[in-house]
Amino acid sequence: MVYKDFFAALADLEKEKGIPQEVFLEALENALVSACKKQYPGAGGGVEIRMNPEKATMDFFMVKTVVEEVTDAETQISLEDAQALKKSYKVGDKIAEKFVPKDFSRIAAQTAKQVILQKIHETERDAAMNEFANKEGELLVGIIRKIDAKNIYVELGKGQVEGLMLPSDQVPGEKYNVNDKIKVFVKRVKSGYRGAQVLVSRSSPGLVRKLFEEEVPEIKQGTVVIKEISREAGARTKMAIYSEDERVDAIGACVGNKGARVNAVVEELKGEKIDIIPWSENPLEFIAKALSPAKVISVTQLEGEKTAMAVVPDDKLSLAIGKDGQNARLAVRLTGWKIDVKSESAAAKLGYLSTETPESDGGDK
């Protein structure tokens, strides 16, 4: 049977959806086989459809297997009956009898439609997954399309894939509005029932890392390396950096001329404070720098794994600890050490003052 209009429609779908025509043909075949089984129960599992897009033809066959003894009349034919049709038939041969399906019922047509739509959906989902499979850990620009009581939905990419930003990935104090353009960090990509699900974040330390990669060529080139980041989104971030080339000033590269580079990141983060700290392989020296902007008099390793006491001037104790303990807490996360911050007078009473005075030369914005 000739179906010129149908195959022309498939070609249009290929252009519109970007899905190869072969995928539609496979889906169509499955759909029509399913429809035939509903319309012609006697066909059982023996329906075969042969399509030729070039000639725009589609033919339907009832297929049965030649057997010695029939156990399933829907899919089998006896050798005696087969040889009555054609002497050369033998056991195991397939006999395909052409038929023309007439007046497919509404149920049959609906079945065909559902199978085709499902295949299109699966193909679009797979295409979206392929597009975003390598986007984990990347920075993307999206458009906020929907906000419910808790979650924010962001349109991403050419395929208009939906990114989900959970409450834990939102920044306290940031305002989100529908149709706002927004930069997000891709935390995870997974396949869901409704397609590719992309979990995005504004609160992840990864967002800060990627923003600096955008602003600082030395980081993108690998000359300056971001070693560690600790962050309390919306309030403060501490970032430890290191230069692989002694001729390159890591802090200067991140700050930029007149603070242009770090200011661009701060602006994107809506005023979040950023401490840029030189990383050191000496953990005690690193701890002293991590407590920036406070100046540290000494750092002493205490008994126990990764535990240290940092001594600061009496009038800098509150600065070292920070509001609600934030500065010290971020330093702990940055260094991976438990840090006990003491004032100079308190440390003297305990006998923990050291003659070593680490310099804290971290940058603060």
Mean confidence (pLDDT) of the chain: 86
Q: Average pLDDT in the 152-161 region?
A: 79
CATH number at residue 48: 3.30.1480.10
Q: Is residue 57 part of a domain?
A: yes
Is the model's pLDDT at 348 over the cut of 50? Answer: yes
Q: What is the CA radius of gyration of the chain?
A: 34
Cis amide bond preceding 358, omega within 30: no
Q: Average pLDDT in the 181-209 region?
A: 86
Q: Check residue 130 and give its pLDDT.
A: 74
The total number of structural domains in the chain stands at 4
Looking at the structure, do residues 241 and 253 belong to the same domain, yes or no? Answer: yes
Contact (Cβ atoms closer than 8 angstroms) between residue 270 and residue 308: no
**pLDDT tens digits along 76-108:** 889 999 999 999 999 999 998 887 777 665 655
Looking at the structure, do residues 350 and 244 belong to the same domain, yes or no? Answer: no
Closest alpha carbon to 321 in 304, 298, 343, 303 = 343
Q: What tokens does 19 get?
A: 């899905």
Coil, helix or strand for 27?
A: helix
Is the model's pLDDT at 169 over the cut of 90? Answer: yes
Is the model's pLDDT at 47 over the cut of 70? Answer: yes
Looking at the structure, do residues 264 and 365 belong to the same domain, yes or no? Answer: no
Looking at residue 302, the DSSP 8-state letter turns out to be P
- From 127, 161, 180, the end of a domain falls on 127
Where do the DSSP E strands lie in the chain? 47-52, 57-67, 76-78, 94-99, 139-147, 152-156, 161-165, 181-192, 195-201, 224-232, 236-243, 273-278, 298-301, 307-312, 338-343, 363-364
Closest alpha carbon to 26 in 128, 116, 100 = 116
Looking at the structure, do residues 79 and 112 belong to the same domain, yes or no? Answer: yes
Name which residue leads in pLDDT, 109 or 65. 65
- From 100, 127, 154, the end of a domain falls on 127
- Count the alpha carbons within 13 Å of 315 in the hemisphere toward its beta carbon: 0
- From 105, 127, 149, the end of a domain falls on 127
Looking at the structure, do residues 104 and 12 belong to the same domain, yes or no? Answer: yes
Q: Is residue 133 part of a domain?
A: no
Q: For residue 46, what pLDDT band results from cuts at 50, 70 and 90? A: confident
Neighbours of 81 (CB within 10 A): 14
Coil, helix or strand for 30?
A: helix
Burial class (CB in 10 A: 0-12, 13-18, 19+), 70: middle
- Count the alpha carbons within 13 Å of 226 in the hemisphere toward its beta carbon: 24
Q: How far is C-alpha 111 from the chain's CA centre? A: 34
Q: Is residue 174 part of a domain?
A: yes
CATH number at residue 246: 3.30.300.20
Name which residue leads in pLDDT, 358 or 53. 53
Looking at the structure, do residues 188 and 210 belong to the same domain, yes or no? Answer: no
What's the CA gap between 363 and 302, in Å, rounded? 27
Please give the residue range of the domain that contains residue 188: 139-203
Q: What tokens does 113 get?
A: 């439609």
Q: Is residue 185 part of a domain?
A: yes
Contacts of 300 by beta carbon, 8 Å cutoff, 6+ apart: 284, 308, 309, 311, 352, 354
Q: Is residue 273 part of a domain?
A: yes
Is the model's pLDDT at 355 over the cut of 70? Answer: no
What's the CA gap between 309 and 340, in Å, rounded? 5
**pLDDT tens digits along 325-346:** 999 999 999 999 999 999 999 9
Contact (Cβ atoms closer than 8 angstroms) between residue 58 and residue 28: no
Q: Is residue 132 part of a domain?
A: no
